C-alpha cells in the first residue's frame, strides 16, 4: 500500500498541499509582504526541496495586427531550506519580502498575483495563487489626486510592452490615460498619458505625453502626423507633495 501511495503522490494524487495566507491583501510598491505558507502532508512522507513565491502580472504585446498577452515574472523569492514533511503533518513557514518598486498598480485591467510552489522530487509540484491589490505610494497617489483636481479623469490603465528606449528591468510599462472632463485643460487637450518609474517610495521619474487638441487646419494636419503630442520628463519627490497640483499645472500648461 505504501508503494502504491508513493506512486499516486508522484502523480500529484495524495501529495502534499500548499496554502499561502497573507497578513493582508493590499500593498504598495516597496511595501512589506508578510504571511505564512501552510503545507499539509499527503499520504506519504515527502522531501520538499524548495518553497518559492513568484509575483506575476500580464502585459499586452503587439505583433503585426495582432495583440496578445504575456505573463511577466516580477520577482521570485525562495523562502526555505530543504526539509521532509510526514504524512498528514502540517507545517507553517513564515515569510517576509519587499514588494518590488516596479510592481504595477492594479488599476484598470491590470492584475497582480503571488504564486506559491513546492519543489518536490519525483512528484508533481503543488501550487497556489493569491491575487493582491497594489495601490500607489503616497507620492504617486498625490499626483493622481492633483490630476483629478485639475479636471482629469482616468480613462484606462494597462501594462504594455515597453519601447526599447523606455525599458527598465521589466519588459513592460504601465500607462495611465487621463482625459480632461472639466477645468482649465478641457478643450485644450485630448488626453494625458502618465507613466512613472518608482525610484524609491519617496521619488519617482515620470513621463507625461501631452496630446493637444487639434485646432484649425494646421492642428488637424499636426494631429494626423502625431506632432501634436509632446513627451515631457520630470522628477517627483516627497517634497513636491504639498505643491503637486501647482507643479503639474505648470508643466502641463507649458505644453498645452
Mean pLDDT value across residues 156-169: 86
Residue 213's pLDDT is 60
Q: Are 180 and 188 in contact (CB under 8 A)?
A: yes
What's the Cα-to-Cα distance from 77 to each of 54, 74, 106, 112, 114, rounded to whole Å?
6, 10, 21, 16, 10
Which pLDDT does position 6 carry in this prediction?
A: 44
Q: What is the pLDDT of residue 29?
A: 97
b/e burial code for range 45-60 (CB count within 10 A of at least 16 → b): bbebeebbbbbbbbbe
Instruction: State the pLDDT confidence band at 162, using cuts at 50, 70 and 90.
Output: confident
**Residue 91 CA, distance from chain mean position:** 30
Residue 160, pLDDT > 90, answer: yes
Angle at 118 between CA 116 and CA 121, to 5 degrees: 160
Cα–Cα distance for residue pair 203/196, rounded to 1 Å: 10
> Could you read off the pLDDT of 70-127 as tens digits, one per residue?
999 999 999 988 888 888 899 999 999 999 999 999 999 999 999 998 887 644 456 8
The residue that leads in pLDDT, 62 or 30, is 30
pLDDT tens digits along 187-240: 888 899 999 999 999 999 999 998 876 443 333 334 444 444 688 999 999 999
- Domains of the chain, residue spans: 2-134, 138-254
Q: Where are the beta strands (DSSP E) in the chain?
A: 17-22, 26-27, 32-40, 46-63, 66-78, 83-85, 90-98, 112-120, 127-134, 152-161, 172-180, 189-200, 203-212, 229-237
Determine which of 30-39, 52-61, 78-87, 147-156 has the lowest per-residue pLDDT on average. 78-87
Q: How far is residue 153 from each of residues 156, 157, 207, 212, measured CA to CA in Å?
A: 9, 11, 18, 16
Q: Which of 138, 171, 142, 136 is nearest to 157 (CA)?
A: 136
The CATH code belonging to domain 2-134 is 2.60.40.640
Mean pLDDT, the chain, whole residue set: 85
What pLDDT is attached to residue 229? 67
Distance CA 191, CA 209 (A): 8
pLDDT value, residue 125: 54
The percent of residues above 70 in pLDDT, for the chain, comes to 85
Q: How confident is the model at residue 67 (pLDDT cuts 50, 70, 90)?
A: confident
What would the grid cell of residue 120 be? 518536490
Cell of 86: 510526514
202: left (phi over 0), alpha (psi -120 to 50) or beta: alpha
Position 215 scores a pLDDT of 46
Strand partners, 68: 61
Task: Identify the pLDDT of residue 121.
Answer: 60
Amino acid at each position: 500500500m505504501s508503494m502504491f501511495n508513493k506512486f499516486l503522490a508522484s502523480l500529484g494524487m495524495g501529495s502534499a498541499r500548499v496554502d499561502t495566507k497573507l497578513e493582508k491583501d493590499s500593498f504598495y510598491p516597496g511595501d512589506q509582504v508578510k504571511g505564512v505558507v501552510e503545507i499539509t502532508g499527503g499520504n506519504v512522507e515527502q522531501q520538499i526541496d524548495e518553497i518559492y513565491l513568484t509575483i506575476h502580472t500580464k502585459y499586452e504585446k503587439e505583433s503585426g495586427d495582432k495583440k496578445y498577452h504575456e505573463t511577466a515574472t516580477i520577482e521570485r523569492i525562495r523562502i526555505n531550506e530543504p526539509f521532509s514533511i510526514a504524512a498528514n503533518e502540517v507545517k507553517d513557514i513564515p515569510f517576509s519580502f519587499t514588494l518590488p518598486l516596479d510592481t504595477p498598480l492594479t488599476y484598470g485591467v491590470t492584475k497582480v498575483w503571488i504564486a506559491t510552489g513546492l519543489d518536490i522530487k519525483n512528484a508533481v509540484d503543488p501550487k497556489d495563487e493569491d491575487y493582491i491589490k497594489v495601490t500607489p505610494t503616497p507620492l504617486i497617489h498625490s499626483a493622481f489626486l492633483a490630476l483629478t483636481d485639475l479636471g482629469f479623469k482616468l480613462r484606462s490603465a494597462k501594462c504594455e510592452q515597453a519601447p526599447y528606449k523606455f525599458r527598465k528591468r521589466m519588459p513592460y510599462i504601465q500607462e495611465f490615460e487621463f482625459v480632461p472632463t472639466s477645468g482649465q485643460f478641457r478643450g485644450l487637450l485630448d488626453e494625458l498619458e502618465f507613466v512613472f518609474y518608482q525610484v524609491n517610495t519617496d521619488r519617482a521619474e515620470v513621463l507625461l505625453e501631452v496630446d493637444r487638441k487639434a485646432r484649425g487646419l494646421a492642428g488637424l494636419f499636426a494631429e494626423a502626423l502625431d506632432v501634436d503630442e509632446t513627451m515631457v520628463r520630470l522628477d517627483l519627490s516627497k517634497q513636491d507633495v504639498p505643491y503637486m497640483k501647482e507643479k503639474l499645472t505648470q508643466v502641463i500648461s507649458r505644453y498645452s
